Structure 1
Amino acid sequence: MQLSKETGKAIDIGCGSSGRIIDLMLEHGFEAEGLDFSIEMLKHAKKRHPEVVFHHADICEWSSSNKYEFISAWDSIWHVPLKHQETVLRKLCDALAKDGIIIFTSGAVDEPGDGSNPFLGQELYHAALGIPAILNLLSDCGCICRHLENDDWPNLHLYVIAQKSA
């Protein structure tokens, strides 16, 4: 969040129940919101942060008229079906205020693809546009990639920090 030039509205996409990212947003002076598809996760999140606005929605269908200075989508949008990945990422970039920052994760792959693997006893779906497509999309949306890292080598976990052009 140090790239952010000011505080203001922030949202954690796929906020889950832990509140770890919401905690950081609040600590840095942001007016935090959370969004999650799971009612159960939101129940826990609301107990931890009763002052925060939480949205129960599917990110593929959610829309907001707000502009956010900071958007986090850590380990969330890469579970969106591949056919919706581009639309969702464009929606999030469009929701950024000028100079706003988005941090998100994806698969550290070169080509679009999807699949699943076992996690805690169930199959977990994941999809990724591929690094070249992500970089092109960010540019098309008026964002500059400030950081891109495969942070869990040899696993294919990519995180991206991008900033909306002024």
Structure 2
Amino acid sequence: MPNNHLSKNIIELYRKYAREWVALRGEWLFEKVWLDRMLALLPDQANVLDLGCGSGKPLATYLIEQGCAITGVDSSELMLQMARANFPEQMWLQADMRQFNLAQKFDAILAWDSFFHLTQDDQRQMFAQFARHAKQGTILMFTSGPAHGEAIGELFGEPLYHASLAPEEYRHLLAQYGFDVLNMVVEDPECTGHTVWLAQKGSQ
């Protein structure tokens, strides 16, 4: 039986357990190896769109320290309150990543440990969102599952939905929307087993 009905609970779970999640997540930056790969491709003072930004710690913290300007999007107002308290000079927006539309194109788009909570159909539709906020040269980085399917994890005793497309479909969607894959590692042992995509918007 499909589990995608559980995807409807994601926003509420991260609202309900915002403070607990931030405490659990901590400040260990296991993503640094990939953030550095992204940063190496960006101009100075790059504008970064962070989808599912949470409290801004630790990912946005590191990017801000490297001179980036952050526009963070999250559905949890409590998470955003923490982000605004941490970094009042940055832009923090309460919105559903599937539906917002900013009149701005970014140097980088980051969807780390957020995109994979969407259903497979919503993930397919997100590539139009990525393209809408990208210009030629924009870097896109996101995490996915390693293969087509759904997986149910746990967040403070409640079911936590994840889904993934097959790598071949991600490659097809990226190409369809004008992104070239620069790097992709399945279950990267240097990044706590995350499957990571790094792509760049071409001229089309």
Deviations along 1:45-78, whole A, 9 cap, x unmatched? 1110011111101111111221000111100011
Contact 2:141–2:196 (CA under 8 A) maintained in structure 1? yes
> Which of 101, 104, 118 is residue 154 of structure 2 equivalent to?
118
CA distance in 2, matches of 1:118, 1:54: 27
Q: Residue in 2 aligned with 1:144?
A: 180
Judged with a 3 Å threshold, the aligned counterparts in structure 2 of structure 1 residues 157 and 130 are, in CA distance, closer, same or farther, namely farther
Q: From the two aligned structures, give the one with the greater strand fraction.
A: 1
Q: Residue in 2 aligned with 1:103?
A: 141
- 71-80 or 93-102: which moved more? 93-102
CA distance in 2, matches of 1:130, 1:7: 34
CA distance in 2, matches of 1:5, 1:31: 11
CA distance in 1, matches of 2:140, 2:111: 8
**How many residues are matched?**
163
Deviations along 1:76-107, whole A, 9 cap, x unmatched? 01111222111113311331121110110000
Deviations along 1:86-135, whole A, 9 cap, x unmatched? 111331133112111011000010x3x32312233111011112211100
Contact 2:127–2:177 (CA under 8 A) maintained in structure 1? no
Normalised by the size of structure 2, how large is the TM-score? 0.73
Contact 1:93–1:102 (CA under 8 A) maintained in structure 2? no
CA distance in 1, matches of 2:43, 2:131: 17
TM-align CA RMSD? 1.8
Query: What SS does the corresponding residue of 1:89 show, helix, strand or coil?
Result: helix
Query: What SS does the corresponding residue of 2:61 show, helix, strand or coil?
Result: helix
Normalised by the size of structure 1, how large is the TM-score? 0.89
Give percent identity, aligned residues only. 28
Query: What SS does the corresponding residue of 1:151 show, helix, strand or coil?
Result: strand
* Structure whose alpha-carbon radius of gyration is higher: 2
CA distance in 1, matches of 2:153, 2:59: 25
Residue identity opposite 1:67 in structure 2? K
Judged with a 3 Å threshold, the aligned counterparts in structure 2 of structure 1 residues 75 and 20 are, in CA distance, closer, same or farther, namely same
Contact 2:44–2:67 (CA under 8 A) maintained in structure 1? no
CA distance in 1, matches of 2:188, 2:157: 22
Contact 1:7–1:69 (CA under 8 A) maintained in structure 2? no
> Which of 72, 76, 81 is residue 34 of structure 1 equivalent to?
72
Q: From the two aligned structures, give the one with the greater helix fraction.
A: 2
